[in-house]
A and B are shown apart, each in its own frame.
Chain A
Amino acid sequence: MRHHLILRVITKILVGPIILYGLYVQFHGDFSPGGGFQAGVIIAVAFTLYGIVFGLRAVYAVLPPWVVHRLMALGLLIYAGVGILNMLSGYEFLNYGAFAPNHPSHGQHLGILWVETGVGITVTGVMIAVFYAFAGRPPRMGDDDW
């Protein structure tokens, strides 16, 4: 893609706002459509776009594969950890009561925030890892064969 000047410039302009929008979708999911699943996919799309246009080496410099592989597990651990934390405080698994024992709905807000964060991290990690895996194989077709 070295010769596509317009694509390269537009991509540079777009990547930031896409990630910002992903974060908005993540943390505004309580009030509008959105949440961890959508946000994870959108943030992964930003890195995918960067990888397609600038090449794998450039995107590895921003987000190395080992970080992505750990993100995959981290999200799931955050999710399950929230549940375990509640159990240790004497509530049911994933009850969220432990976050604010005197104010149940505040506890729910905090619990939903953490759980959605976990979902978002795992989905981002899996989508980027899958893209890395496919893009990392030696291609069979050149750019002009399409």
Chain B
Amino acid sequence: MTTGDNELMIEFLLGHINYWLFVVLMMTGLYIVIVRGNYVKKIVGLNIFQTAVFMFYISIGKITGGTAPIFPTDSQGRIRPDPDIVYSNPLPHVLILTAIVVGIATTALGLALIVRIREEYNTIEEDDVLEIETKLAEQENRIHGFGPGGGA
């Protein structure tokens, strides 16, 4: 391998390590959602998953040597455009900015459901809820029979 190959390799690694770390982050979130039975922890896992997607979008918008997309102004507040400044892509920022606030609103909805689940089942573990549900379904089946319409 020559020095040129090595440099290309390092450039490729540095150019993609953000995307790989975001995949690790995303899979950590997914793993928490699948494996852990606690509903609050599932929501935290979903938030990690969500943040990984945000990171991916913002990483795409970044330009090396760029700066935040806000134009310089003079003392009167008028814009003084400077063609030498490189700006990062503002479009992903807009999409993610709104997505974060929508994310907290939907998280609140999920947490509200958890509170109601605790009041009905007196537990916030998915396994316990499923057990109670199965028992209830068996009782109903014993009363109404297993036929269509009666089975739960």
**Chain A interface (Cβ within 8 Å of chain B)?**
31-33, 35, 37, 40-41, 123, 126-127, 130, 133-134, 137, 140
Segment from B50-58, B104-112, B136-144 that makes contact with A: B104-112
List the B side residues contacting A32 at CB < 8 Å.
70
Task: Decide yes or no: A134 and B105 within 8 Å by CB, A32-B70, A33-B68 being known contacts.
Answer: no
- Inter-chain contact A37/B97, CB cutoff 8 Å: yes
The answer to whether A37 and B98 touch across the interface, beta carbons within 8 angstroms, is yes
**Which 6 A-B pairs give the minimum distances between C-beta atoms?**
A130-B108, A37-B101, A126-B105, A37-B97, A123-B101, A137-B115
Would B73 and A41 count as touching, CB distance under 8 A?
A: no
Contact in complex: A33, B101 (CB < 8 Å): no
Interface status of B83 (Cβ within 8 A of chain A): no
Additional A-B contact list (5), CB under 8 Å, known A31-B70, A123-B101, A130-B105: A31-B73, A33-B68, A127-B104, A134-B111, A140-B118
> Residue B77 contacts which of A31, A37, A130 (CB distance < 8 angstroms)?
A31
Are the CB atoms of B73 and A133 closer together than 8 Å?
Answer: no
Chain B 62-79 interface residues, beta-carbon cutoff 8 Å to A:
68, 70, 73, 77
Chain A proximity mask over B77-99: 1 for CB below 8 Å, otherwise 0: 10000000000000000000110
**Cβ contact within 8 Å between B70 and A33:** yes
The contact of A133 among B77, B105, B112, by CB within 8 Å, is B112
Residues in B with CB closer than 8 Å to A127 are 104
- B118: A residues at CB distance < 8 A: 140
Residues of B within 8 A of A130 (CB): 105, 108, 112
The residue of chain A having its C-beta at the shortest distance from the C-beta of B68 within the complex is: A33
Which chain A residue lies CB-closest to B109? A130
Name the residue among B98, B105, B108, B118 with the largest chain A CB count within 10 angstroms. Answer: B108
Residues of B with C-beta under 8 A to A41: 101, 104
CB distance from B131 to the nearest CB of A (A): 21
How far in angstroms is the closest Cβ of chain B from A93?
A: 18
Asked if B98 contacts A134 (CB within 8 A), the reply is no
Chain A to chain B contacts (Cβ below 8 Å), 10 pairs? A31-B70, A32-B70, A37-B98, A37-B101, A123-B101, A126-B105, A127-B104, A134-B112, A134-B115, A140-B118
- CB of A122 to closest CB in B, whole Å: 10
Closest to A140 in B: B118
Q: Which residues of A contact B68 (CB under 8 A)?
A: 33
Among B34-48, those with CB < 8 Å from A are none
B116 to chain A, nearest CB (A): 10
- Nearest A residue to B107 via CB reads A130
Closest chain-A Cβ to B67's Cβ sits at a distance in Å of 12
- Select from chain B the residue with minimum beta-carbon distance to A130: B108
**Within 8 Å CB of B77, what residues of A?**
31
* B6 to A: closest C-beta gap in Å: 40
What's the nearest-Cβ distance from chain B to residue A145, in Å?
Answer: 15
